[in-house]
Amino acid sequence: MRPEPPRDAETVAEVGEFNLIHRVTTGRAQPETTILGPGDDAAVVAVPDGRVVASMDVLVEGVHFRLDWSSPEQVGRKAAAVNLADVVAMGALPSGLLVGIACPADTPAATIQGIMSGLWQEAAKAGAGIVGGDMVSSATLVISITAMGDMNGLEPITRSGALVGDVVAVTGRLGWAAAGLAVLGRGFRSPVGIVNAQRTPEPPYEEGPRAAEAGATSMIDISDGLLQDLGHIADSSGVAIDVRTELLPLHPRLLDVASALGGDARHWALTGGEDHALAATFPGPKAVPENWTTIGTVRAGEGVTVDGRAYEKPPGWEHWRA
């Protein structure tokens, strides 16, 4: 699954742990919140609000990414994005990432340097820095990231605050990453925009804090599928959620790919993960911010329905499910 490196390419074992760390951290810019970055036993990050929002995700080669489908830089950007999206889903401003990389000794050093370059690029896009981490030997390439953020004086938006009578809204792309996966799985590499949605998701970083300011009652990052993740809000809040398919934002490009592959764009939007869009509930249509699309309502009861009925297919991704 991994492309063959040039025969004269340096491996991580030949470069060495500390030289490799030096290569991927030297000369990088940090945001103002980084008081002390890589180089000491621990980082020091300013948290003006006084509360640290923290989240962690682990990405494994062959499960979350493939180096024959994505460049190392794209893998790095994706690894950062999936973590930063969790922070903004709480309504927080991203501040720093702690990065752990485990890989085989024969991994080309250029691969790790490319992954780190992508991580730096995506962190900067969200206004965060890479403040520390670790590198170790492993039989499999694994990227583990802890993301941190600051609430900037706002209250965290949890999954448990949805109320009967709220409306459900989304922002960001739905179904694009699932469509990109379907395209790649057929052996194609275009349309590039759809394929790149799988390689490098584009979370709407600025919209999490904006939703918090607008009075969102609950919010979640859509990583495992819209229905699956809305189910977490429904369970945590003790409510029912109904999604209306006629309100789903289905881009014409998504419909074109579904037609070409014999796929279902609506199913991709409802159950496809890895777009890292945001879903939230708001106390009425007037509270929904610009750039958000209302797609449903919160009702008394339990679970998630689609057009008033139970969805017959799996609602999204779940590890270890057959």
Euclidean distance between CA atoms 296 and 294, whole angstroms = 6
Q: What is the SS3 assignment for 256?
A: helix
Question: What's the farthest any 2 CA atoms get from each other in the chain?
Answer: 64
The annotation status of 224 as a binding-site residue, yes or no, is yes
Q: Are 184 and 241 in contact (CB under 8 A)?
A: no
By C-alpha distance, which of 98, 93, 104 is closest to 79? 98
The annotation status of 274 as a binding-site residue, yes or no, is yes
Q: Cα-flanking dihedrals φ and ψ of residue 211, to 5°?
A: -65, -40
Structure tokens at 134: 């670790």
Q: How many CB atoms lie within 10 A of CB 230?
A: 30
The annotation status of 159 as a binding-site residue, yes or no, is yes
The annotation status of 41 as a binding-site residue, yes or no, is yes
Handedness of CA 63, 99, 275, 1 (dihedral sign): negative
Q: Cα-flanking dihedrals φ and ψ of residue 214, to 5°?
A: -80, -5
The annotation status of 55 as a binding-site residue, yes or no, is yes
The annotation status of 221 as a binding-site residue, yes or no, is yes
The annotation status of 275 as a binding-site residue, yes or no, is no
By C-alpha distance, which of 261, 169, 248 is closest to 207? 169
The annotation status of 317 as a binding-site residue, yes or no, is yes
Q: Which amino acid is at 262?
A: G
* C-alpha distance from residue 186 to each of 130, 180, 182, 192 (Å): 36, 10, 6, 14
The annotation status of 106 as a binding-site residue, yes or no, is no
The annotation status of 134 as a binding-site residue, yes or no, is yes
The annotation status of 276 as a binding-site residue, yes or no, is no
Q: How many CB atoms lie within 10 A of CB 205?
A: 23
By C-alpha distance, which of 299, 161, 169 is closest to 241? 299
Residue stretches of the annotated binding site for substrate: 64, 274, 317
Residue stretches of the annotated binding site: 41, 55, 57, 64, 86, 133-134, 159, 221, 223-224, 274, 317
Residue stretches of the annotated binding site for Mg(2+): 41, 55, 57, 86, 134, 221, 224
Residue stretches of the annotated binding site for ATP: 133-134, 159, 223
